[in-house]
Amino acid sequence: MKLYGTSTSPFVRRVRIVAAEVGEAVERVDTATEEGQAELRALTPIRKVPVASLDGRTLFDSRTIVDWLVTTRGWGAIQPPRDPWIEANLLNAIDAALDAVIQLFYLRRDGVAIDGTPYAERQLARADAIFLWLGTQLAHDRCGFGPALGLAEISLVCALDWMDFRQTYPTERAKTVQGVRNAWKKRASLVATRPE
Ligand SMILES: N[C@@H](CCC(=O)N[C@@H](CS)C(=O)NCC(=O)O)C(=O)O
């Protein structure tokens, strides 16, 4: 699979983790470079990463790429969802926290004095509410939402690690879900893809 994206994006990272878990080799095109960005823009009008080229297709969006991988390659060592609707709620919640905080990151990076504004506070409060809710969805051992590593656990770890890496959200505020990150921190696919 040719995967367009940066080494730091949490959305790209979740695809890289799933690819590793299902045994799909990844050739990454770095979209942080001018050439990579030009290639990306020729492929997608959305101008967001990840985008994948595989099996004669171009696929936009991490969730779609992951769906394609698990559908065509199988789940490998990943736990398939027991209830796809519950899984969709978990993934939508994690994506909403990431999207909220990513907007703050981009605004700050472009020099907008966003910190402390009602808009920024609302986004951080949204992330607080999401992590609190995710905490209520954990299994008894608090290591995840089910018995093993699934897509929601992968996405949550990618989100928290990225928030720490970019210091966009103080993840000590996400106390209720820290156990998930601790539980999977030695998983090879997670170790190999940590943002740095
Ligand atoms: N829903 C998309 C979100 C992807 C996304 O937000 N990617 C960010 C990088 S982490 C991006 O490319 N942003 C570029 C921009 O907003 O201009 C997915 O899951 O793939």
Domain of residue 51, CATH code: 3.40.30.10
Q: Is 50 in the pocket of ligand 1 (CB under 6 A)?
A: yes
Interstrand relation of 51-54 and 2-5 (parallel, antiparallel or unpaired): antiparallel
Percentage of the chain beyond pLDDT 70 is: 100
Predicted pLDDT of residue 87: 97
Best CA proximity match to 188, nearest among 9, 23, 11, 10: 23
Q: What is the CA radius of gyration of the chain?
A: 16
The helix (H) or strand (E) run that includes residue 119 is helix 118-136
Predicted pLDDT of residue 124: 98
Whether 63 and 92 map to the same domain: the answer is no
Predicted pLDDT of residue 37: 98
How many structural domains compose the chain? Answer: 2
Best CA proximity match to 156, nearest among 94, 81, 86, 63: 94
Domain boundary among 39, 73, 107: 73
Q: Which amino acid is at 193?
A: T
Q: Is residue 196 domain-resident?
A: no
- pTM of the model as a whole: 0.97
Residue 190, SS3?
helix
CA-proximal residue: ligand 1, atom 15 (nearest): 48
Whether 177 and 99 map to the same domain: the answer is yes
**Which atom of ligand 1 is the closest one to the Cα of 99?**
6
Asked if 65 and 15 touch (Cβ cutoff 8 Å), the reply is yes
Predicted pLDDT of residue 173: 97
Interstrand relation of 51-54 and 57-60 (parallel, antiparallel or unpaired): antiparallel
Whether 113 and 154 map to the same domain: the answer is yes
Predicted pLDDT of residue 140: 95
Whether 97 and 187 map to the same domain: the answer is yes
Per the structure, the complete domain to which residue 15 belongs is given by 2-73
- Positions of the chain with pLDDT lower than 70, given as ranges: none
Q: What are the tens digits of pLDDT across the range 137-186? A: 999 999 999 999 999 999 999 999 999 999 999 999 999 999 999 999 99
